[in-house]
Amino acid sequence: MFDSTRRTVVVVGAQWGDEGKGKLVDVLAERADWVVRYQGGANAGHTVYVGEKKYVLHQIPSGILHPGVRCAIGNGVVLDPETLFREIDTLVADGVDVSGRLYVSERAHMVLPYHKLVDGESASSKAIGTTGRGIGPTYEDKAGRRGVRVLDLRNPARLRTLVEAGVAHANGRLAASGSDKRVTVDDTLARLEALAPRLLALAEDTGLVVHRALKSGAAVLLEGAQGSLLDIDHGTYPFVTSSNTTAGGAAIGAGIAPTALHGILGVVKAYTTRVGNGPLPTEFPEPMQTEMRTLGNEFGATTGRARRCGWFDGVVVRFAARVNGLTDLAVTKLDVLDTLDRLAICTGYEVDGTLHTEFPGDLSLLEHATPRYEWFDGWKRPTGDVRTLDGLPREARVYLDRIEALVETPITYVSVGTRRDQIIGLEEAVAA
């Protein structure tokens, strides 16, 4: 993936999240100098296996598991400092040295206790099915010019003014929701003052730092969270997250120029999942729903919530390829399909007798859509030990070839298990 013309690569989810982005970043980080997280917050959960050891990373980029790789949390992330420090402490306890390798953008907005409280009490958050981690209210305060950034910890007077505005707004929201809970300025400031020394020690102008690294010829991975269909502009609104999850948000959230992006790797599962409410046109009925959820261990890394599962949706992924400008595709969890007799790929939606082959912005169309499927024979053989595309069963190659044709993006990587060495295509990339 990295070469002399592709020094800056974005890794983005091309479905509804949980596609395996963290795993791809982890293996690609071996050839990177920097890994930068560019949006979202602690609502993300990137699961990485190193041998038999499982790591779940929420805010720290997956590249932290490679000694020598520097990691940055960009200005587009809404940072939960308390969660960040718990994550750091867990890594250190597991023998991962983060000293001098982790940077936090001084421009990043912070998730404060009142954001989580508002999120937990909000009827709209519950209706959409958010994680309740305060992400939406923090982005709302950011847009409302009352957000608190990391750099504000250096200026006590300004910090108090911003917290006063945030607390007043939060208490108004809580009262409007019928909650009797309230927050205070002094309690909020006390928690921030306790966190400030440790957080400011990590704070940098990360956009400038990464820009200088690129100028020096460094290889940089930009890591997104969630998936393209959860993008605030391009996703299934209003059942979306509060940030731009697509590749266009990578430059903004990392603080570098759009012209610095050289490659965009879209990550998809070999089937489809989503967490929370909102449309999922290819969703399985029971008992297939429970069977696939069990086969794929489809439970959220952050919340533990059961994921909804369905057949691979080519309409969704082709749309994601277009809005992201994907240069490459990685297909994960192919091995989960090993035992199935037949598989389907959705190639269009039929609505009131009309076939739609492009993903609609109007969700009312999806509410009445009947997926149009192409059916494929299953391979009924284990793929976990396969290490080349040619070594895959013929039926699996046919399935992947159809995905590649529908999405109009070359498949560069195929994952057939949870371990680092179970990614087909990695050897070719390292040799390139």
Residue of 26, 33, 46, 115 with catalytic role: 46
> Tokens standing for 256?
């570098």
Helix (H) / strand (E) element for 113: namely helix 113-121
**Euclidean distance between CA atoms 309 and 315, whole angstroms:** 16
> Tokens standing for 283?
């969703």
For residue 236, CA distances in Å to 126, 128, 286 come to 16, 11, 24
Catalytic, 205? Answer no
Rounded to a whole number, what is the distance in angstroms from the first to the last CA of the chain?
Answer: 8
Residue of 18, 26, 33, 335 with catalytic role: 18
Write phi, then psi, for 345 (nearest 5 degrees).
-125, 130
Report the candidate in 209, 241, 203 with the shortest Cα–Cα distance to residue 106.
203
Cis check for the bond before 238: say yes or no (omega within 30 of 0): yes
Catalytic, 26? Answer no
**Euclidean distance between CA atoms 117 and 322, whole angstroms:** 37
Length of the chain: 432
Question: What's the farthest any 2 CA atoms get from each other in the chain?
Answer: 67
Bridge-based pairing of strands 70-73 and 34-37 is: parallel
**Euclidean distance between CA atoms 74 and 210, whole angstroms:** 10
**Euclidean distance between CA atoms 410 and 311, whole angstroms:** 20
**Euclidean distance between CA atoms 370 and 195, whole angstroms:** 52
Q: Are 414 and 330 in contact (CB under 8 A)?
A: yes
Alpha carbon 266 to its chain's center: 11
């209210």: which residue's tokens? 137
Cβ neighbours of 352 (radius 10 Å)? 8
**Euclidean distance between CA atoms 76 and 232, whole angstroms:** 13
Could you give the residue numbers annotated as active site? 18, 46
